[in-house]
Chains A and B, each alone.
Chain A
Amino acid sequence: MQSNVQQFPPNRPEAAEAHSDHGHDHGHDDHGHHEHHEPGFWSKYIFSTDHKVIGIQYGLVSLSFMLFGFFLMVMMRWQIAHPGVPVPVIGPVLAALLGQPAAHGIISPELYNSFGAMHGTIMVFLGVVPLAFAAFGNYVVPLMIGAPDMTFPRINMASFHAFFLGGLVMLVSFFIPGGAAQAGWTSYSPLASTIPTDGQAFWLVGMVLLITSSLLGAVNFIATIIQLRTPGMTWMRLPFFVWAQFVTAFLLLLAFPPLEAAGLLQLMDNVAHTSFFLPTGLAVSGPVGQVSGGGSPLLWQHLFWFLGHPEVYVLILPAMGIVAEIIANNTRKPIWGYKSLVYAALVVGFLSFIVWAHHMYLTGMGQGIATFFQATTMIISIPSVVILTCMFLSLWGGSIRINTPMLFALGFLPMFGIGGLTGLPLGLAASDLYLHDTYYVIAHFHYVVAPGTIFALFAGVYFWFPKMTGRRMSEFWGRVHFWCSFTFMNLVFMPMFAQGIKGMLRRMSDGGVNYSAAKVPGVIDTLPGTVMELNTWILWAAVGLGIAQIPFIINLFWSISHGEKVKSDNPWHATTLDWQTPTPPPHGNFAHEPHVVRGPYDYSLPGEANDYTPQSETGGKSAH
């Protein structure tokens, strides 16, 4: 079976020849080695314009940032569980690196705030978005639509460099006097303009760079998907992953600029001492500040959340795309309701622009506007549920192949379900007023993003690794990684629902000890001891989650050179075009322009010899 896999359309013998010596003889690190002149290290790996190299660059950098963001979180969890106690092992290192804010290895409240703000920023803008959108999008989208590269390869490179620079600015800000930004990843004004640190200015400059990078990427993605689809690749033959990336690119294109505008305004507030977001008579710890006033703090929130909410779908749509591909591939049957998936993704993208103020119910909103945003928020949950339902239904009646990517994809479904459903009480003003700013909110969006999106991203890494390197990752360690991550993820986040419902507030560096200890006469409900004890549980679950990533990291790097070699270009027996290239794909991807004759998920067509029929394969009865 493996040996006579249809690697290229049979009517193109040269193509089959070109690839056949690929999968077998070449090592892992020869992206783009088909150039006529052998490029040097710098032009090959650093200043590459090849979408695959850029995708891998994005992937490695964003995975590193995710690890770093995770490390910040573990430090915070320690401080929450043991306020004022030096951090074991890492404490002295922190004290040596950061000085006063981490004196004696104790995380000061200011440092806690920095870590909190930067954990959010790094995970969202430097971790998940670049991995989900830029890394997988760059590597997979041109392959899936049969394109030789992105439309604007040099802009693609510029996009990565802007991203890298932005990440560097964020990292440097930890070491400046005063430390990194402390106003949370949302950077609400006037708080962001009154904390005495330049970290906020660094944060804003970093964000402008990251936004620029996203814009360049988004333009490139949209133009690529519209212009470079190979002949026969009509809109309704695009794999769902491509649709998801397409909608995501539009969200980035149109939702990010208002945040860029807001970032520029806040930068003016911080550097040129304007008062865009500073109200008249603003008092900072006593005296009235020396600013002209007249600005509007709520304006920042509006501009921020105009990006902030579509950003949620930027995080989740690519993940859904990956899961759809893997489910179709491993159930060996067409994805259920392809068209509903596509339309649901489009509707989600459209509606995500007009739901943002549900993050702002507590700002003293009038009933009219609150009602409007509640309505749109409830409506947007419908297409999300449509997507999830289609994926669940796709499992029904399939002869499911269980492997690591599939495990992570299956894990995604209930985890995203929990995350999504717990969001409904936050979308309704009445219940949100109570739950706002508690750990319930933290638990909700982490269920969406951490065991949701990040599981899907892990699935993607395991799934496309053979295409990138010609080798598989270890199945055994992959399963260890999945089961441990799955367990610890839930142990970390599930207790937070309970804490939040009991009223534990987020962003408290002592984890609520002072709140809990304040036995004010007449106050009925302070935080009970059981809720506080959960903090210790969560800490050790988080440490466990960190340890569970070690098999993944080792597996990832070890498999590059030692993994089991794949025997064909299409080891998963997939239908989409990304598996119809040589392995790893050379510069320019396809030996010959593929011609698409059928939909993306022609698995188990009746009467076919194989249980999959690639999109470019002619013949077969039910080409549509």
Chain B
Amino acid sequence: MSESEQPVDLKSYIRLCAVIFLVVLCTTSAMIAASFSDHLGSGWTGRVTVILGIAVINAFLVAGYLMHLLSEKKLVYTVLCFTVFFFIGLMGLTLWAMGNFPVGTINH
């Protein structure tokens, strides 16, 4: 019983969903365009950054609107904040460790 997200009538809700769907279509197209575009340099670094940036926007839309995260309770935010922090720790520290070897290490 989520009092905070009452869909008052179905029609306006369908309209909102249609908008979100269109936006998702646009971001997906933008990702594909970025992937095949010649303007983002020859290497992959810049391209990956742009594409993942768009993916994050896309994810924000899904989490924020479809999962109602924008109007969720503080408790859920707290749990997710810790999770994201630990996820960043896992990936970040592992990457750091894998890039940080004593001078002279040939293979790892």
Contact = CB atoms under 8 A, between A and B. Distances in A.
Asked if A pairs with B, the answer is: yes
A365 interface: yes
Interface string A240-275: 000000000010001100100000000000000000
Given A298-B98, A299-B98, A353-B89, 14 more contacts: A258-B90, A279-B107, A302-B90, A306-B90, A350-B82, A354-B89, A357-B97, A364-B101, A364-B102, A366-B102, A367-B100, A367-B102, A369-B93, A369-B100
20 contacts: A250-B82, A254-B86, A255-B86, A258-B90, A296-B108, A298-B98, A298-B108, A299-B98, A302-B90, A353-B86, A353-B89, A357-B97, A360-B97, A364-B101, A365-B97, A365-B102, A367-B100, A368-B100, A369-B100, A372-B93
Contacts of A365: 97, 100-102
B96 A354 contact: no
A622 B10 CA distance: 55
B75 interface: yes
Contact of A368 (B83, B96, B98, B105): B96
Contacts of B35: none
A364 B101 CA distance: 6
Interface size class of A (residues with CB under 8 A): 20 to 34
A236 to B, nearest CB: 17
Contact of B98 (A258, A296, A306): A296
Contacts of A517: none
Nearest to A356: B93
Nearest to B101: A366
A368 B93 CA distance: 11
A302 B96 CA distance: 11
Interface string B70-108: 000001000000110010011001101110111001011
Interface size class of B (residues with CB under 8 A): 10 to 19
A369 B83 CA distance: 22
Interface string A212-236: 0000000000000010000000000
Select the residue from B82, B93, B100 with max chain A CB neighbours within 10 A.
Answer: B93
A213 to B, nearest CB: 20
A369 B98 CA distance: 9
Select the residue from B83, B90, B107, B108 with max chain A CB neighbours within 10 A.
Answer: B90
A49 B100 CA distance: 50
Contacts of B90: 258, 302, 306, 353
B97 A369 contact: yes
A254 B83 contact: yes
Contacts of B83: 254
Contact of A302 (B86, B94, B100, B105): B94
A438 B93 CA distance: 27
B105 to A, nearest CB: 6
Interface in A331-389: 350, 353-354, 357, 360, 364-369, 372
Contacts of A254: 82-83, 86
Interface of B: 75, 82-83, 86, 89-90, 93-94, 96-98, 100-102, 105, 107-108
A365 B108 CA distance: 10
Nearest to A226: B75
A559 B14 CA distance: 65
* CB-CB nearest 3 A-B residue pairs: A366-B100, A302-B94, A369-B100
Nearest to A310: B86
Contacts of A369: 93, 96-97, 100
A302 B95 CA distance: 10
A426 to B, nearest CB: 18
A369 B89 CA distance: 13
A298 B101 CA distance: 12
A353 B107 CA distance: 28
B32 to A, nearest CB: 28
Nearest to B104: A364
Nearest to A306: B90
B12 to A, nearest CB: 32
Contacts of A357: 93, 97
Select the residue from B75, B100, B107 with max chain A CB neighbours within 10 A.
Answer: B100
Interface string A489-510: 0000000000000000000000
Contacts of B100: 365-369
Contacts of A298: 97-98, 108
A366 B105 CA distance: 10
A364 B102 CA distance: 7
A345 to B, nearest CB: 15
A82 to B, nearest CB: 40
Contacts of A279: 107
B97 A302 contact: yes
A372 B107 CA distance: 23
A376 to B, nearest CB: 10
Interface in A95-145: none
A35 to B, nearest CB: 29
Nearest to B99: A366
Contacts of A366: 97, 100-102
A296 B108 CA distance: 8
A303 B100 CA distance: 17
Contacts of B108: 296, 298, 364
Contacts of A255: 86
A368 B98 CA distance: 11
Select the residue from A302, A357, A360 with max chain B CB neighbours within 10 A.
Answer: A302
A188 B93 CA distance: 19
A487 B96 CA distance: 45
Nearest to A367: B102
B24 to A, nearest CB: 27
B21 to A, nearest CB: 31
A427 to B, nearest CB: 16
A303 B97 CA distance: 12
Contacts of B101: 364-366
B73 to A, nearest CB: 11
B11 to A, nearest CB: 35
Contacts of A367: 100, 102
Contacts of B86: 254-255, 353
A278 to B, nearest CB: 14
A381 to B, nearest CB: 19
Contacts of B89: 353-354
